[in-house]
Amino acid sequence: MEHPIFAVALLFWLSSPQGICFTRAATTASIYTPPMRATLLLTMLALATAAHAQWQIQDVHTTASLRGVYSLGNGIAWASGTEGTVLRTEDNGKTWQHCVTPPNAEHLDFRGIQAFDSKTAIVMSSGKGDLSRLYKTTDGCQTWKLIFTNPDKDGFWDALIFEDQTTGFLLGDPVHGYFYLGETTDGGKTWIQKQNRGLEADAARQGAFAASNTSMSVMHGQPSFGSGGVGGAFLYRLIASMVYEDDSPPKDQNKNWSMDSWTSVPVPLGSRTESSGLFSLALLLTGSGVAVGGDYLKPNASTGTAAFTQDEGHNWTASTTPPHGYRSSVAYDIPTKTWLTVGPNGTDISTDDGRNWHPLTPGSSDAPDADKNWNALSLPFVVGPHGRIGILRDGALAPHK
């Protein structure tokens, strides 16, 4: 569906020998409090409500709207956007290389990118019909090869994700009554549309969002993806994969065929409008996960902007304190156990697995708008419109239990 950290440390040392030492990082506190000081400390806590953003804006020299970003670690990252733009860094964003534009891609909108190393990446454009394409480079984006074009004139691709170097999944809006879900097992050379039992959808009521290339997640080797629209927000997940041999399949099927069965689980996001729903999804192997979204035409509305799960997406609960606006991307920082989500009007974090979110505001060393105008995350990088790229400063997120 087309879609147009902070670290705050407060040290209070009172005149008594015991004193009070209070350190706040996000919503996590490590506190030693003599009983007589408890009331004073609670007052201080009530006043210290704002965390500070730690996105350092990088100089990229492009005006493209960026929605695709993929960080490989060790300073290597790729980004993509409008006008066939692909960017690449090997030095943690100190310098960004402007890649050669893929063939006939000058007017394409690259909504997603998947990188495998400093030389190899696949970029996905989103658009109706043959405007949805995949290009691949193996030489550090000096040259590109067109590897797949949407074969359906009414199709529209939303997300691309790979589990490893060979196995990947491609999500598209419903066509002919079903969501498109393609799979490759040879690194993107060939794509096979998965059987669609349980993926039925009315294109007038359901669709996915190509807002940040994060509406799909892979766990245990299987993809799950989110949707939205006037029919509501749902998580689609695989519940069974069956293989039939010999004479088992129906007469109109070939031998040795597979049929996957899917289920759709309601997620309390959005407001049942064409522009609302689940925009970004992240599921962890621990079973916990977060989904964010809302209504991109109402970026300041906070209702229905985040939900969480503790059972691999079987059930979802709306966040008690949601992000303070529509959010297009969410990511999890494993070392600090912190969730981050971004959108047009700001950045929010959660340290309790998505139950409660807290807005971040720029610190004294940040740009005044460092917290906002973002589209997509791949930590430590964040990208947005007009060529915006930011990087999370070292030590910005403090570990917590």
- The 3-state secondary structure of 77-121 reads EEEEECCCCEEEECCCCCCCEECCCCCCCCCCCEEEEEECCCCCE
Residue 229 lies in a domain: yes
Q: How far is CA 288 from CA 59, 160, 314, 351, in A?
A: 36, 22, 10, 13
Mean pLDDT, residues 28-33: 30
Please give the Cα distance from 307 to 269 (Å, whole number): 7
Give the pLDDT score at 364: 82
Same domain, 30 and 131: no
Same domain, 88 and 134: yes
Q: Which helix (H) or strand (E) holds 47?
A: helix 38-47
Q: How far is CA 302 from CA 150, 248, 294, 311, in A?
A: 35, 51, 8, 25
The DSSP code for 45 is H
Tens-place pLDDT, residues 254-290: 444 456 899 999 999 999 999 999 999 999 999 999 9
Give the pLDDT score at 394: 80
Going 269 to 26 to 285 to 222, the CA torsion angle's sign is positive
Residue 399 lies in a domain: no
Give the pLDDT score at 221: 86
pLDDT for residue 215 is more than 50: yes
CB of 279 closer than 8 Å to CB of 211: yes
Both tokens assigned to 22:
């209070």
Same domain, 42 and 104: no
Same domain, 104 and 17: no
Place of tokens 């039992």: 197
Same domain, 357 and 387: yes
Residue 30 lies in a domain: yes
Q: For the domain that residue 159 is a member of, what is the CATH number?
A: 2.130.10.10
Q: Which residue has the higher pLDDT, 53 or 154?
A: 154
Same domain, 294 and 258: yes
Both tokens assigned to 324:
């303070």
Helix (H, G, I), strand (E, B) or coil at 38: helix
Report the relative pairing of strands 389-392 and 157-162 from DSSP bridges: unpaired
Give the pLDDT score at 387: 97
Tens-place pLDDT, residues 79-106: 999 999 999 999 999 999 999 999 999 9
Neighbours of 12 (CB within 10 A): 12
pLDDT band at 395 (very low <50, low <70, confident <90, very high): confident
Same domain, 36 and 98: no
Place of tokens 């070392």: 335
CB of 88 closer than 8 Å to CB of 80: no
CB of 291 closer than 8 Å to CB of 281: yes
Tens-place pLDDT, residues 281-339: 999 999 999 999 999 999 999 999 999 999 999 999 999 999 999 999 999 999 999 99
Tens-place pLDDT, residues 335-368: 999 999 999 999 999 999 999 999 988 888 888 8
Same domain, 307 and 323: yes
Same domain, 177 and 315: yes
Looking at the structure of the chain, the number of domains it has is 2
Residue 398 lies in a domain: no
Please give the Cα distance from 217 to 223 (Å, whole number): 6
Please give the Cα distance from 381 to 55 (Å, whole number): 9
Residue 161 lies in a domain: yes
Same domain, 112 and 78: yes
Give the pLDDT score at 123: 98
CA 24 to chain centre: 27
Domain of residue 270 covers: 56-392
Give the pLDDT score at 337: 95
Helix (H, G, I), strand (E, B) or coil at 190: coil
Please give the Cα distance from 276 to 156 (Å, whole number): 17
Place of tokens 């997509």: 376
Give the pLDDT score at 252: 46
Give the pLDDT score at 308: 98
Same domain, 11 and 96: no
Mean pLDDT, residues 136-143: 98
Report the relative pairing of strands 346-350 and 338-343 from DSSP bridges: antiparallel
Bridge partners for 162 per DSSP: 168
Place of tokens 């960080």: 71
Residue 397 lies in a domain: no
Mean pLDDT, residues 124-131: 98
Q: Which residue has the higher pLDDT, 58 or 51?
A: 58
Q: Say what percent of the chain tops pLDDT 70.
A: 82
Helix intervals (H) in 158-271: none
Residue 160 lies in a domain: yes
Same domain, 71 and 208: yes
Report the relative pairing of strands 157-162 and 276-283 from DSSP bridges: unpaired
pLDDT band at 152 (very low <50, low <70, confident <90, very high): very high
Residue 367 lies in a domain: yes
Q: What pTM value is reported for the model?
A: 0.84
Burial bucket for residue 118 (CB in 10 Å: 0-12, 13-18, 19+): middle
